[in-house]
């Protein structure tokens, strides 16, 4: 089973690398007066990482809140 998971991981990693190589055009991101020009794959990777971090933070807040509701109060 681990071999199959490793094979799947390698296939996905290869597809991501191929996507990054084929989409190497630059894009400009602007935020008010600040702007940056970066490759498209950098924007996609940055968005993915920021999404993972925000999802992780949201899940940890929900988990902590759930524990407070479910656990009995200590006297």
pLDDT digits (tens, 9 = 90+) for 52-75: 899 988 888 888 887 777 777 776
pTM summary value: 0.60
Domain count, the chain: 1
37 DSSP 8-state letter: E
Q: Give backbone dihedrals phi and psi of 26, rounded to 5 degrees, phi first.
A: -95, 150
For 36, the 3-state DSSP assignment is strand
Note whether residue 10 is domain-resident. Answer: no
Here the tokens at position 30 are 């602007």
Note whether residue 62 is domain-resident. Answer: yes
Give mean pLDDT, residues 10-22. Answer: 86
Residue 39 and residue 44: Cα distance in Å, rounded?
Answer: 9
* Residue 69 vs residue 46, higher pLDDT: 46
Note whether residue 56 is domain-resident. Answer: yes
Look up the domain containing 35 and give its range: 25-75
């Amino acid at each position: 089973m681990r071999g199959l998971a490793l094979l799947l991981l390698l296939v996905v990693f290869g597809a991501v690398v191929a996507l990054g190589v084929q989409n190497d055009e630059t894009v400009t991101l602007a935020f008010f007066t600040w702007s940056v020009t970066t490759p498209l794959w950098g924007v996609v990777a940055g968005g993915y990482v920021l999404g993972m971090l925000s999802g992780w933070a949201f899940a940890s807040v929900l988990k902590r809140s759930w524990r407070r509701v479910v656990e009995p109060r200590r006297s």
